[in-house]
Amino acid sequence: MRKTFIAGNWKMNMTASEGRAFAAELTAGNLDKGVKILIAPPFTTLQAVAEVVKDTNILLGAQNMSDSESGAHTGEISPAMLKEIGVDAVIIGHSERRIIYKEDDSFINRKVKLALKHGFEVIFCVGETLEERESGNVENVVRSQLVGGLQDISTRELQSVTIAYEPVWAIGTGKTASPEDADDVHAFIRTEIEKLYDIKAADAVIIQYGGSVKAENVKALMSKPNIDGALVGGASLKFETFSPIVNYNK
């Protein structure tokens, strides 16, 4: 049975001192122990948060990672740098990286491979823009992102990959795909994973929904058979908005 996985992507928010204080609040909070929880602070905040969440049930994630081991890559962060401070997982292919920073599928695929090589879990993001949805291209876009991003990833390696479906038009806009629409795409993703791998892999893969998830809609989303968790943005920045999402089933 797939375990519920709630991840908080802090994006470009929280200094080291702010992140440390918030992480302490989370570790002391009454969060559902049956839910897998991850928080992903900015790079400069990771070390401070790592010290707080060490030996707790809260996993530490990075929001991005270089596609190279080391070298002349100004402004980049290597897997070894993340590993040494205790990072457990890396978010790769987030729509903001794809759209703002022009990361394509082959570049994202290199990052996925490198992250898995270094023993990280990966949250691999896919999703369509509003224009792509309105033109009826949701399945084509998502299929292309899955095939490109997971190229040469083995069935064994896939066990360390969580897929996050994030409709771009619903991120930070307050708009949310209906639970039914979201589940339809999640079911499509599961079918595509079966084609790329096998039915066992498709049944096992965790697929999160990301797109203006909040306390008011999480229960309806999580009631759907193919939605296994959430990749949360703005609502992950405060205890009073993040904890109800983690504790949606209480």
Catalytic residue among 94, 103, 128, 186: 94
d(CA 46, CA 39): 10
73 assigned to active site: no
How many Å apart are CA 176 and CA 181, to the nearest integer?
A: 10
Residue 220 C-beta-side C-alpha neighbours within 13 Å: 12
Distance between CA atoms of residues 143 and 12, nearest Å: 29
Q: How, if at all, do strands 121-126 and 161-165 pair?
A: parallel
The residue to which tokens 């740098």 are assigned: 81
Q: Which of 111, 77, 81 is nearest to 94 (CA)?
A: 111
Catalytic entry in 103, 121, 128, 166: 166
- Could you please report the per-residue DSSP string of 28-92? HS---TTSEEEEE--HHHHHHHHHHHTTSSEEEEES---SSSSSS-TT---HHHHHHTT--EEEE
Active site residue 94: yes
CB-neighbour burial class of residue 14 (10 A; exposed 0-12, middle 13-18, buried 19+): buried
For 24, the 3-state DSSP assignment is helix
d(CA 50, CA 1): 29
Which residues are known catalytic residues? 94, 166
